[in-house]
């Protein structure tokens, strides 16, 4: 993030991070096993850009032993919050519960000192993207341009360069949009004997850009004997607000979701976007950070979190009905960070994919290393994001795939964008997209 958005703190910063439970810092024994899992350390070899180094920096700032200089800030902002370090850590360090509230504290300190959110944060990250209806309306010109192939003309003649840098990045990240599909109804019946009633979480960007995957998810759930409920009053998970320091709006969105699915009276709330699922499962910890000891907030959020299941997690527990449609495809599977690290879900998507007749799954080298998407990271830290995208692309091409599979909207956008950059026409699917095709006997190519 550009330094001009964050004036350098020249005062004592010992109060920053003071709301974090100090014992969480002390869990780190500085063994360094996290460094081999950290994308930014792998790319730079800089200890300050490793989880161990960042914990040291945050603790030193909290203690008042170190000023929050622009260099310290840069090292902290470069973290993708992929939480691969949590998987690697033998001491159980809750790194996400350190870096997220610390960066929120920094954002709020900047605001208290007179700093204002950038236009991009205010208009795009907080204003547009979290609202799925606004985002879908904003995509109408893009759909028209893609239909007429004007987007390629605009890019080839260099008109994109007239846009602000972050909007240029958004243009390049935009996938080939599927034809507009209708909004999902509020309720879909189970097919065959009813086994469960489940809520389907829509999110924001995912519904605007990948609604076809929501439909696929609903159909797969129906095929597995689930009645599917889609509450109209559900909202964005709040991740974009929370990760950029807007804690209260994030909390309001969380409470809105808790109320929406409580009214629906479902056995589980199914999520098909790894980043949203991780955020929803973190609601109780986030509530504790923002409003400690407030049971009016903690209780409904805890109740919702208890029901949150990734779609692969839910189907694995339910016992999936095997599809019969053959899909002859050689594919590789990329582990989305917030699925494998934040939620510790690895085998369930692979086991579902193995049910598909004809699908050949090739192991991906460095599958659990971040692709560089990380929510809005590919917009705020473009240089490192591009380095990680190229690293991921190189590993993907080693598998000689006909398709890439990943369970997160952000990863899909990032990998698709890099494929276009490299002039490759390798499609990217969600696991549920292929499972749905197999149930319906439809070929992806």
CATH of the domain at 416: 3.40.50
What confidence score (pLDDT) does residue 160 get? 80
pTM: 0.91
Kindly state the average pLDDT of the residues 116-133. Answer: 87
Average pLDDT over the chain reads 91
Q: Is the pLDDT of residue 13 over 80?
A: no
Q: Does 200 share its domain with 126?
A: no
26 within a domain of the structure (yes/no): yes
230 or 120, which is more confident: 230
Question: For residue 130, what are the CA distances in angstroms to 64, 99, 180, 189?
Answer: 36, 22, 19, 29
What confidence score (pLDDT) does residue 440 get? 97
370 within a domain of the structure (yes/no): yes
Residue 278: which CATH number? 1.20.1050
Q: Does 224 share its domain with 287?
A: yes
What confidence score (pLDDT) does residue 345 get? 97
181 within a domain of the structure (yes/no): no
Q: Does 94 share its domain with 164?
A: no
Domain boundary among 317, 340, 356: 317
What confidence score (pLDDT) does residue 19 get? 84
Kindly state the average pLDDT of the residues 55-68. Answer: 94
What domain range includes position 191? 187-317
Q: Is the pLDDT of residue 52 over 60?
A: yes
Q: Does 295 share its domain with 409?
A: no
Q: Is the pLDDT of residue 246 over 90?
A: no
Q: Does 334 share its domain with 309?
A: no
Kindly state the average pLDDT of the residues 116-142. Answer: 88
What confidence score (pLDDT) does residue 2 get? 37
182 within a domain of the structure (yes/no): no
253 within a domain of the structure (yes/no): yes
Rounded Cα distance, 356 and 393, in Å: 25
Domain boundary among 112, 127, 158: 112
**% residues pLDDT > 70 (the chain):** 97
306 within a domain of the structure (yes/no): yes
Question: pLDDT grade, residue 10 (50/70/90)?
Answer: very low
84 within a domain of the structure (yes/no): yes
- Using one digit for the tens of pLDDT, what is the confidence trace for 354-407? 999 999 999 999 999 999 999 889 888 999 999 999 999 999 999 999 999 999
Q: Does 289 share its domain with 366?
A: no
CB 273 within 8 Å of CB 343: no
- Using one digit for the tens of pLDDT, what is the confidence trace for 90-119? 999 999 999 999 988 888 888 778 878 788
Domain boundary among 173, 197, 217: 173
Question: pLDDT grade, residue 64 (50/70/90)?
Answer: very high
Give Dmax over CA atoms of the chain in angstroms.
Answer: 66
Q: How many domains does the chain have?
A: 4
- Using one digit for the tens of pLDDT, what is the confidence trace for 283-318? 999 999 888 889 999 999 999 999 999 999 999 999
63 within a domain of the structure (yes/no): yes
What confidence score (pLDDT) does residue 60 get? 95
Question: pLDDT grade, residue 1 (50/70/90)?
Answer: very low
Q: Is the pLDDT of residue 80 over 60?
A: yes
Token pair in block for residue 138: 């904003």
Kindly state the average pLDDT of the residues 2-18. Answer: 48
Residue 79: which CATH number? 1.10.1060.10
């Amino acid at each position: 993030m550009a330094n001009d958005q964050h004036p350098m703190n020249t005062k004592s910063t010992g109060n920053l991070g003071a709301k974090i439970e100090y014992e969480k810092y002390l869990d780190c024994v500085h063994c360094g096993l996290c460094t081999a899992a950290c994308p930014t350390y792998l790319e730079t070899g800089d200890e300050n850009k490793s989880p161990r180094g960042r914990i040291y920096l945050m603790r030193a700032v909290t203690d008042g032993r170190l000023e929050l200089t622009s260099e310290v800030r840069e090292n902290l902002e470069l973290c993708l919050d992929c939480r691969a370090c949590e998987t690697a850590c033998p001491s159980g360090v809750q790194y996400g519960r350190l870096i997220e509230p610390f960066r929120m504290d920094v954002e709020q300190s900047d605001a208290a000192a007179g700093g204002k959110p950038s236009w991009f944060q205010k208009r795009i990250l907080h204003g547009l993207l979290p609202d799925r209806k606004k985002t879908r309306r904003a995509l109408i010109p893009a759909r028209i341009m893609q239909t007429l192939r004007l987007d390629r003309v605009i890019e080839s003649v260099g008109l994109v360069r007239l846009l602000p840098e972050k909007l240029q990045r958004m243009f390049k990240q935009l996938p080939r949009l599927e034809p507009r599909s209708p909004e999902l109804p509020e309720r879909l019946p189970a097919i065959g004997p009813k086994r469960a009633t489940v809520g389907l979480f829509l999110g924001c960007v995912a519904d605007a850009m990948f609604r076809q995957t929501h439909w696929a998810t609903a159909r797969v759930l129906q095929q597995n004997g689930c009645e599917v409920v889609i509450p109209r009053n559900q909202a964005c998970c709040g991740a974009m607000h929370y990760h950029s320091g807007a804690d209260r709006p994030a909390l309001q969105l969380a409470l809105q979701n808790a109320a929406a699915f409580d009214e629906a009276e479902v056995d589980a709330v199914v999520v098909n976007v790894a980043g949203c699922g991780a955020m929803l499962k973190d609601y109780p910890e986030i509530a504790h950070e923002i409003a400690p000891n407030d049971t009016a907030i903690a209780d409904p959020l805890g109740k919702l979190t208890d029901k949150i299941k990734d779609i692969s997690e839910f189907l694995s527990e339910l016992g999936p009905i095997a599809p019969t449609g053959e899909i002859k495809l050689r594919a590789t599977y990329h582990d989305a960070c917030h699925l494998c690290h934040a939620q510790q879900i690895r085998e369930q998507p692979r086991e579902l994919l193995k049910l598909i007749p004809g699908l050949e799954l090739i192991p991906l080298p460095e599958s659990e290393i971040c692709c560089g998407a990380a929510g809005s990271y590919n917009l705020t830290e473009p240089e490192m994001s591009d380095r990680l995208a190229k690293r991921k692309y190189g590993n993907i091409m080693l598998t000689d795939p006909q398709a890439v599979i990943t369970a997160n909207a952000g990863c899909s956008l990032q990998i698709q964008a890099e494929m276009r950059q490299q002039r490759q026409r390798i499609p990217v699917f969600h696991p549920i997209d292929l499972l749905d095709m197999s149930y319906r006997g439809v070929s992806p190519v």
